[in-house]
Amino acid sequence: MSLTSPFAATGRVVLSALATLGRVTIFALQAASHILRPPFYTREFLNALMQIGWFSLPVVGLTALFTGGALALQIYAGGARFNAESVVPSIVAIGMVRELGPVLGGLMVAARVASSIAAEIGTMKVTEQIDALVTLSTDPMKYLVAPRVLAATLAVPVLVAVGDSIGIWGGYLVGVTRLDFNAATYLKNTVDFLEFWDVASGLVKGAVFGFTVAVMGCYHGMRSGRGAQGVGRATKLAVVSASVMILAANYVLTEVFFSA
């Protein structure tokens, strides 16, 4: 082994990572451009909207409900150390709409949707259905990718909004039933301390996360290797990369939106 081997190995890893980043970026730009240009496949879009939006509601709702409740308990316990129990309603609301609603909602959608998109498109690839689409004069980017990416970009902010509401309600339930808050005071404190931008920033995050989830699902599905192992690997990569990118994007967006 020569002295330069570690440098060469590091270089190869960096080049490979940059190449992947470049491919994903080009894929995302192509997906975005296909959303804007006809033909539009309305049936596929509405189907994707149902699959991504409607059918993700239970998992996003339950996640938000339990997170809101746990958050109320944690803030109460922490606040009690310096007699600040009264901040529970406002911190639950701000924490849910700014961070936990979009991030946990995004991660749950990543787990549910990125895997399903990657598995579906990957299976279509290995069974030659994507080749069949091309021979039938249909662009797979338009027919498979664009409807899913658009649907996820529109559906996830709605899921985040619903998740925010359920999360705050979870905090309210715990606050009123377990922590002896007055119901009217709890609601008043929630509303008084919540600002428009708190909610709007979470919804913007949701749109970015939805776009990310669908792009990663489609990208890995379209690049799936042969056989069950290839599809399994594509599915795993889709979920892992979508989750990591959601967390990274969340940090960047938080810096942009809220840094002083």
Partner 1 sequence: MIDLQGIEKAFGSNRVLRGVDLSIGTGTSMVIIGGSGTGKSVLLKCILGLVTPDAGSIRLDGRDVANAPRDEFLARFGMLFQGAALFDSLPVWHNVAFRLLRGANRCPKAEAREIAVEKLRRVGLKPEVADLYPAELSGGMQKRVGLARAIAAEPEIIFFDEPTTGLDPIMAGVINELIREIVSEMGATAMTITHDMSSVRAIADHVAMLHDGVIQWTGPIAEMDATPDPYVQQFINGRAEGPIASVR
Task: Name the token pair of 91.
Answer: 């911190």
Which of 36, 136, 184, 260 lies at the binding interface for partner 1 (CB under 8 A)? 136
42 touching partner 1, by CB under 8 A? no
Rounded to the nearest angstrom, the gap between the alpha carbon of residue 210 and the centroid of all alpha carbons in its chain is 5
Candidates 19, 55, 86, 131; binder of partner 1 (CB under 8 A) is: 131
Distance (Å, whole) CA 25 – CA 8 = 25
Applying the rule CB under 8 A, the residues between 47 and 66 that interact with partner 1 are: 47
Alpha helices per DSSP H over the chain: 5-36, 42-52, 57-79, 88-95, 101-109, 115-126, 129-135, 140, 146-177, 183-193, 196-222, 227-258
195 binds partner 1 (CB under 8 A): no
The count of residues interacting with partner 1 (CB under 8 A) is 14
Cβ within 8 Å of residue 67, ≥6 positions away: 96, 100, 104, 167, 170
CA atoms within 13 A on the CB side of 138: 13
Q: How far is the CB of 61 from partner 1 (least distance, A)?
A: 26
17 binds partner 1 (CB under 8 A): no
Min dist. Cβ of residue 129 to partner 1 (A): 5
Q: Which of 134, 228, 252, 256 binds partner 1 (CB under 8 A)?
A: 134
* Candidate residues 30, 90, 129, 165; the one interacting with partner 1 per rule CB under 8 A: 129
CA dist list (Å): 149 to 30, 52, 145, 153, 154: 11, 10, 6, 6, 9
Report the residue number, 132 or 247, with the smaller CB distance to partner 1: 132
Judged by CB under 8 A, the chain residues 95 through 124 that form the site for partner 1 are 124
Among 2, 4, 135, 259, binds partner 1 (CB under 8 A): 135
Residues that bind partner 1 (CB under 8 A): 39, 47, 124, 127-129, 131-138
